[in-house]
Amino acid sequence: GAVVSQHPSRVICKSGTSVKIECRSLDFQATTMFWYRQFPKQSLMLMATSNEGSKATYEQGVEKDKFLINHASLTLSTLTVTSAHPEDSSFYICSARTSQSFGNEQFFGPGTRLTVL
Amino acid sequence: AQTVTQSQPEMSVQEAETVTLSCTYDTSESDYYLFWYKQPPSRQMILVIRQEAYKQQNATENRFSVNFQKAAKSFSLKISDSQLGDAAMYFCAYNMNRDDKIIFGKGTRLHILP
The number of angstroms, rounded, from the C-alpha of B85 to the middle of its chain's C-alpha atoms is 17
DSSP letter (8 states) at residue A103 = G
- Whether A30 and A52 have beta carbons less than 8 Å apart is answered as yes
d(CA B35, CA B51): 6
Nearest-CB residue to B33 (from A41, A46, A103): A103
pLDDT at B50: 93
Neighbours of B22 (CB within 10 A): 17
Residue of A nearest to B106 (CA): A43
Q: Is B25 on the interface with A (CB under 8 A)?
A: no
Virtual CA dihedral for B75, B79, B80, B85, nearest 10 degrees? 170
Residue ranges in chain B whose pLDDT is less than 50: none
Q: Positive or negative CA dihedral for B60, B51, A24, A45?
A: negative
Interchain pair B100, A46: CB under 8 A: no
Percent of chain A with pLDDT over 70: 97
Cα separation of B5 and A11, whole Å? 33
Interface test with A, best of B32, B42, B45 (most A CBs within 10 A): B45
> How big is the CA angle at B3 (ends A2 and B34), to the nearest 5 degrees?
40
Q: pLDDT band at A1, cuts 50/70/90? A: low
A44 contact residues in B (CB cutoff 8 A): 45, 91, 104
Q: What is the pLDDT of residues A30-74, one digit of tens each?
A: 889 999 999 988 899 999 999 888 889 999 999 999 999 998 899
